[in-house]
Amino acid sequence: MGNIESRINNPRRMKQLIDFKGLAIDGNIYPTDIDGLIEYKDSEYIIFEVKYGDAEVPLGQKLALQRMVDDFTKVGKQAVAFICEHTVRNANKPVVAAWCKVREIYYGREKEWRVPDNEITVRDAVNSFQRFSKLVRNLHQLDGNHITEEVAH
């Protein structure tokens, strides 16, 4: 897949676990982590969660991802969440998120989780979403920011 420079600034600190004990709300709601978030020019949000193999995403975490996408969409941003998987067995080896396989997509205008039509990497999914977002932005500009829901689909 090519030689890509790592974006990890402090690998030793990255391995340090963050424990959310003591932060429960209503007795059983705890913070969640997000593996990646790209904010692009105040117009797009790309969120992704990476799991090993077919590990389940806890319901609360999936709802948090979904609701963030919905909230970004409500205020006029293009937003998507990807649930991805990797197959790196050795926990001491880095996982390159760009090469992970996307197994579910939640796009704000569709309002449902779905499986990709074809096998796709995170890098390819990000590129595809950005192309679509650019098309929607251009339609907004052509229509004086009055795009219909039908055109966006």
Full DSSP string of 129-143: HHHHHHHHHHHHHHT
Residues 117, 139: Cα–Cα separation, whole Å: 25
**Res 12 pLDDT > 80:** no
Contacts of 137 (CB under 8 A, 6+ apart): 43, 78
- Give me the count of residues in the chain: 153
pLDDT (mean) for 45-68: 95
Q: Is 5 exposed, middle or buried (0-12, 13-18, 19+ CB in 10 A)?
A: exposed
Mean pLDDT computed over every residue of the chain: 85
What is the reported pTM? Answer: 0.80
- 69 closest CA partner among 103, 107, 41: 107
- Tens digits of residue pLDDT in 117-133: 999 999 999 999 988 87
**Res 151 pLDDT > 60:** no
pLDDT (mean) for 37-55: 93
Predicted local confidence at residue 30, as pLDDT: 87
Report in angstroms the alpha-carbon separations of 40 from 9, 34, 112: 21, 17, 23
pLDDT (mean) for 24-49: 91
More confident residue, 151 or 88: 88
Predicted local confidence at residue 113, as pLDDT: 96
Phi, psi of 70 (to 5 degrees): -60, -45
Q: Which two tokens stand for residue 2?
A: 């090519």
Q: Taking the CB of residue 56, how many other CB atoms lie within 10 A of it?
A: 9
Predicted local confidence at residue 114, as pLDDT: 95
Predicted local confidence at residue 144, as pLDDT: 58
